[in-house]
Amino acid sequence: MIANLVLNSKNVSVDLSKPIDISIPLKSAKDNVNAWYVDQPKIEPVVFDGWTASVEKGASINFNNIEFNPHAHGTHTETAGHITKKVHSINKHLKQFFFLAEVVTVAPEKMEGDFIISKKQLRFLLGNKKREAIVIRTLPNTKDKLSRQYSHTNPPYLLEEAAIYLRQKGIKHLLIDLPSVDKEKDGGELLAHHAFWNVHDKIRLDATITEFIYVANKVKDGPYLLNIQIAPFENDASPSKPVLYKIDVK
């Protein structure tokens, strides 16, 4: 199905029959991607009074309970409610779902024992482009990102200056293939989160951060139509399914 759309005052053509899913699926297994020192997710049939809700075990239905943490167990989209006293709901504040996005690939730079993404790197990659969203793929980009156990590994992160730059450039939706835009152990400062959402000034409740994506190497850098799909959780974050579509600009 070919759709003709207007994005940022540009006429674009999109083939909606060719989605590029950049989410990481959640599964009940030890090799499910993980961070923040929690146990693996659980997907288990309801057991009640000797009855197990599994067709394999003789029931007429599969009827599972699911236990997981959206921030720790896979692709998720979050609002400023992640770091504010008032828990702003992703379901209430994400009201648009299609955006003009730029996919960029960046090799984090070493700084004082950490690997970081700087303002200089993002400014070089975005230049004068006007985008509503940015999708950041970090190098090296190997398939073990689909099952990596991140706790106590000090993954790369964004410098505060990089988050400020994205905010000032008008980026509303930040997607990254890391467990967080901030340093794993930073004493609770969460500088990039605060800067991107502008928490200490005019808070951007319509802006989102999506973490734990995976962008395969075959996906080229450049402009895409982005669809952010969420479950309607009344929570600061929801598991999500961001999907890219190639676009032809007319």
Task: Quote the radius of gyration of the chain (alpha carbons, Å).
Answer: 19
Q: Distance between CA 35 and CA 171 in Å, rounded? A: 26
The pLDDT of residue 177 is above 60? yes
Q: What is the mean pLDDT of residues 173-195?
A: 98
């599972």: which residue's tokens?
Answer: 64
Q: What residue type is 192 in one-letter code?
A: A
The pLDDT of residue 221 is above 90? yes
Helix axes 119-126, 160-168, angle to 10 degrees: 30
Pairing of strands 20-21, 237-249: antiparallel
- The mean pLDDT of the chain is 96
Claim: this prediction has a pTM higher than 0.85:
yes
- Asked if 101 and 210 touch (Cβ cutoff 8 Å), the reply is no
Q: Distance between CA 93 and CA 76 in Å, rounded? A: 15
User: Which of the residue ranges 2-16, 17-31, 38-52 would you say has the lowest mean pLDDT?
Assistant: 2-16
Q: Given this model, what pLDDT does residue 6 score? A: 73
Q: What is the mean pLDDT of residues 218-239?
A: 97
pLDDT band of 9, cuts 50, 70, 90: low
Domain ranges of the chain: 2-37+70-249
CATH of domain 2-37+70-249: 3.50.30.50
Q: Given this model, what pLDDT does residue 182 score? A: 98
- Report which of 176, 177, 180, 201 is spatially closest to residue 189, judged by C-alpha positions: 180
Q: Given this model, what pLDDT does residue 249 score? A: 64
| DSSP string computed for 161-181 | HHHHHHHHTT--EEEESSS-S
- Report which of 187, 165, 183 is spatially closest to residue 174, judged by C-alpha positions: 165
pLDDT band of 170, cuts 50, 70, 90: very high
**DSSP letter, residue 26:** -
Q: What is the mean pLDDT of residues 165-191?
A: 98
Q: What is the mean pLDDT of residues 31-47?
A: 98
Q: Distance between CA 115 and CA 157 in Å, rounded? A: 7
Two structure tokens written together for 14: 């999109």
The pLDDT of residue 10 is above 80? no
Q: Given this model, what pLDDT does residue 250 score? A: 56
